[in-house]
Amino acid sequence: MRWIWIDRILELERGRRCVTIKNVSAAEDVLHDHFPATDNRPAMPVMPNPLIIEGMAQTAGIMVGHAGDFKEKVILAKITKAVFTDAARPGYTIRHTAEMDNFSKAGASTHGKTELIDPNTGEAKPLAEITLMFSHIDHNMAGLEFPEHNFVFTGQLMEMLEASGFQSPG
Amino acid sequence: MTMTKDEVFAKVREVLEEALGVDEDEVTPQATLGGDLGAESIDYLDIVFRLEKAFGIKISQAELMADNVLSDPQYVQDGKVTDLGMSELRKQLPHADLDAFDASRQVDEFPNIFTVESMVKFVQGKL
């Protein structure tokens, strides 16, 4: 099983940009643990920020993988920056826009903005700015070896790529 | 226009502050990237990308760090760099001070050869 924290890919430009969305639902258990009611205040269900970062990592990771024809094993290696200015509540849609800064044999760096789309007005407002680093782990400096098959781009991520209307490598 | 060493240092310091999240006063010429500034392996790639952008140069990680040497069994035996390996490192890393490392040659101490000063020298050699 793998956690997928994006629902659909809207745009995918080779080596340049990827846009995805994630609908925040009250049906997701994690929201009810974050944060439950206390004696002093009512429940405040919001999408945990680490999961929003994971959604951006999946968005940017697909862009990095796509730039290398999904041949490299692309692993999130560093969260360079993650600054949040709002909270994602049920009923809102999260939109991740990732852009490529650098891409090399060893890895890639990306930056992106995450927005909240208001369910009433359709307007987008800033939620976070997230800058990430990815490693192509078969080219890691330590010379470590990993399984030959690409265990990153398989199953759900590739199914989502196809369901969103983009061609998967398989 | 040629940049002075101080100008190169100022830009390198800015790159390291951003890549490693360290304060300006921590980035002294003698500070080691791994030991003093806490750089991990992915940070070196981040530093390469940022140096390329800051100075408008193209850098391969191998020419900056000679990481290809340490993964080659003819240059490393039992966790230590061989005579042949030291000779190759000196050839590939003219910007680094290898004398202290030569005393131990322990591979796990290799990251300590990369000081802020060595980054400045490397960039100057590329400009």
Three-class HEC string of B74-88: CCEECCEECHHHHHH
Instruction: List the domains of chain A with CATH numbers.
Output: 17-163 (3.10.129.10)
Known active-site residue A34: yes
Mean pLDDT, rounded, for A99-115: 95
Chain A residues with CB-CB distance to B19 below 8 A:
80
Q: Cβ of A133 and B42 within 8 Å?
A: yes
Q: Cβ of B45 and A140 within 8 Å?
A: no
pLDDT score for A156:
80
Of A2-6, A109-113, B16-20, least confident by mean pLDDT is A2-6
B40-to-B11, B19, B34 alpha-carbon distances in Å: 21, 11, 7
The answer to whether domain B5-126 has CATH 3.90.600.10 is no
Distance CA B111, CA A104 (A): 22
CB of A101 less than 8 A from some CB of B: yes
Closest CA to B67 of B113, B31, B28, B23: B113
Q: Place A170 in a pLDDT band, splitting at 50, 70 and 90.
A: low
Q: Place A50 in a pLDDT band, splitting at 50, 70 and 90.
A: very high
pLDDT digits (tens, 9 = 90+) for A69-84: 998 889 999 999 999 9
CA closest to B21 among chain A residues: A80
The ipTM, to two decimals, is 0.79
What are φ and ψ of residue A2, in 5° steps? -140, 140
Q: Place B1 in a pLDDT band, splitting at 50, 70 and 90.
A: low
Q: Which of A34, A96, A111, A139 is catalytic?
A: A34
Closest CA to B119 of B56, B70, B48, B45: B48
Closest CA to A167 of A6, A50, A9: A9
